[in-house]
């Protein structure tokens, strides 16, 4: 933000451009550019013309003034800017111009909207290749959110147990070992895209059951 003096002799008057975020949607930001008049000494009268730009969009007007020292908003302009697949938006240029008859000037500003985060959309984890003491869990997403790829974490536990075992973010497919034969296991998954947007664990109960061992299944069924 820079103030541009449009009257060199006292009482001084400056023009200022400020830019900021108004709101964000799923894929876009509304950015506002303000035009301010700054009266630093004494009192000023007259009708002053002004305009303000934000990324090529403009607003303008004429304002009748009878002002003492202070900062005065002349006007503003809102404009909407789209973000890319990663949720980013580049720098947006803005400017404010003011003509008070006895002097004119333009102040410039630049603003970059914050990145919009959007988490991947989890799909239900799938169990496969289930054997007495091993199984495979596969995680996936239907959308990467604001990203181009995802990594996954999975968790599992004996049905009814209070704690989960997690495997940490990595591949989409995890092979589990050391399971108990003939038992029901609960499983869940969570996705994180390449921009670091993280979803919550899948909701609902997803299970697989390990195979019993023929001949000793009744004995093993009682092992916790």
Write the DSSP string, 39-62. Answer: E-SS-EEEEEEEEEEETTEEEEEE
What per-residue confidence (pLDDT) applies to 2? 74
Q: Which residue has the higher pLDDT, 10 or 184?
A: 184
CATH architecture of 121-213: Sandwich (2.60)
Phi-psi label, residue 220: left if phi above 0, alpha if psi -120 to 50, beta otherwise: alpha
**How far is residue 136's CA from residue 43's CA, in Å, rounded to a whole number?**
78
CA dihedral 67, 73, 75, 79 (to 10 degrees): 170
Q: Which residue has the tokens 């023009």?
A: 15
**How far is residue 159's CA from residue 209's CA, in Å, rounded to a whole number?**
10
**Is 3-111's fold the same as 121-213's?**
yes
What per-residue confidence (pLDDT) applies to 222? 53
What per-residue confidence (pLDDT) applies to 224? 52
Element (H, E) at 218: helix 217-220
What per-residue confidence (pLDDT) applies to 174? 95
Q: Which residue has the tokens 């700054």?
A: 38
DSSP state of 73: E
Please state which of the four CATH numbers 3.40.718.10, 1.10.10.10, 3.40.50.150, 2.60.40.10 is assigned to the domain occupying 3-111: 2.60.40.10
Domain chopping of the chain, boundaries = 3-111, 121-213
């Amino acid at each position: 933000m820079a103030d541009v003096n449009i009257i060199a002799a006292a009482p001084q008057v400056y023009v200022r451009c400020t830019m900021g975020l108004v709101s964000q949607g799923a894929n876009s930001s509304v950015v506002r550019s303000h035009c301010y008049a700054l009266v630093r000494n004494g009192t000023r009268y007259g009708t002053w013309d002004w305009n303000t730009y934000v990324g090529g969009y403009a607003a303008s007007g004429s304002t009748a003034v009878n002002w003492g020292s202070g900062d005065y908003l002349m006007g503003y302009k809102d404009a909407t800017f789209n973000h890319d697949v990663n949720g980013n938006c580049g720098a947006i240029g803005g400017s404010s111009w003011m003509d008070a008859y006895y002097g004119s000037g333009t102040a410039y500003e630049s603003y970059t909207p914050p990145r919009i985060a959007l988490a991947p959309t989890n799909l239900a984890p799938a169990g496969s290749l289930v054997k007495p003491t091993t199984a495979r869990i596969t995680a996936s997403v239907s959308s990467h959110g604001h990203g181009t790829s995802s990594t996954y974490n999975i968790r599992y536990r004996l049905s009814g147990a209070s704690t989960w075992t997690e495997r940490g973010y990595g591949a989409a497919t995890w092979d589990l070992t050391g399971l108990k034969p003939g038992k029901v296991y609960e499983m869940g998954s969570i996705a994180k895209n390449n921009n670091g947007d993280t979803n919550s664990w899948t909701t609902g109960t997803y299970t697989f059951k390990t195979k019993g061992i023929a001949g000793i299944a009744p004995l093993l069924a009682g092992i916790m």
